[in-house]
Chain A
């Protein structure tokens, strides 16, 4: 039963914290700045369609896993749920 009801282990907390920390470390971009980018993107898109700004997510990640970290270009991913296309 512990499997289903256990609290997050400290190792998982460490890993989660590191993942978030390293994203901003690697692109030299603070979480505050990410929030500002997110708000601005939401503002622009809202001009054209109705979006769910609250559940919108943005993330900078280095994808393209081929051959280690070298050939990864940082990419900005935005996940923006649309409520109504024809606003």
Chain B
């Protein structure tokens, strides 16, 4: 049974594309057939993060307009034989595609893949509507900041209105030193506010920058973020993986004061 997962956040720059690339790659390395779709028409980025930018011939808009067959637009990742990327168009805008066309294309791809991962553009306009149209499951990415959490809350509301089967939360760029100091919301705080199931916590890690520079997702390579993304992939595929110690990152001190001030919040 194939699953169609949209990776979304509302706010830009919180790590949708990084999450899409790493979760897609991780699932493919687990032996699943995965198709990554970049739905950000006009601002395509998933191809560079994946290091596949030099191999694009056709794109998503070509497919929906019938200029090519779906298969021709799919780029196979040579490092992971079961991973494919459907790139977005760079020279068009969001209005080039309709939600109906997306559903049609996704349904076609469902026949060949275990997982279809849609990288959603920022915002809640047409591009967002296109991306969520064909999906039945969502990963909402947020960082522990007020602006990102507010936007995530809005997105969750919109997804719930569209009757999504499953909406899970990815907390990205968590800094444990700040959490310990009381200057960043902990994962528990964020979950408390957004009230959806947590599927992963990705620590703030400079290796993300390095891996993006190189165009090679870092999932499963032993770095803190790599391990975190590996765990997310396992949980996406239904395995129960305990949250690692560094993922919790709540010191004894924070716990004590947390209890102390619980009645206030």
Q: Which residues of A are in contact with B by a Cβ distance under 8 Å?
A: 3, 6, 9-12, 14-19, 21-22, 25-26, 68-70
B195 to chain A, nearest CB (A): 5
Chain A residues with Cβ under 8 A from B256's Cβ?
3
| Distance A11 CA – B154 CA, assembled complex (angstroms) | 21
Interface residues in B43-88 by Cβ distance below 8 A to A read none
Knowing A9-B183, A10-B182 are in contact, say whether A69-B189 is a contact too (CB < 8 A).
Answer: no
Chain A residues with Cβ under 8 A from B197's Cβ?
68
Interface residue tally on B, bucketed by range: 20 to 34
Pair B265/A15 contact, Cβ less than 8 Å? yes
B42 to chain A, nearest CB (A): 28
Pair B146/A25 contact, Cβ less than 8 Å? no
| Distance A69 CA – B169 CA, assembled complex (angstroms) | 13
B164 to chain A, nearest CB (A): 10
A31 to chain B, nearest CB (A): 15
Pair B157/A26 contact, Cβ less than 8 Å? yes
Pair A18/B146 contact, Cβ less than 8 Å? yes
| Distance A65 CA – B51 CA, assembled complex (angstroms) | 44
- Asked if B252 CB lies within 8 Å of chain A CBs, one says no
Pair A70/B185 contact, Cβ less than 8 Å? no
B146 to chain A, nearest CB (A): 5
Contact of A3 among B154, B181, B192, B257 (CB under 8 A): B257
A9 to chain B, nearest CB (A): 3
| Distance A47 CA – B252 CA, assembled complex (angstroms) | 52
Please, could you name 24 A-B residue pairs with CB atoms under 8 Å apart, sorted by A?
A: A3-B257, A6-B257, A9-B181, A9-B182, A9-B257, A10-B182, A11-B179, A11-B185, A11-B186, A11-B189, A12-B182, A12-B265, A14-B145, A14-B146, A15-B189, A15-B192, A15-B265, A16-B265, A17-B146, A18-B146, A18-B150, A22-B150, A25-B154, A69-B160
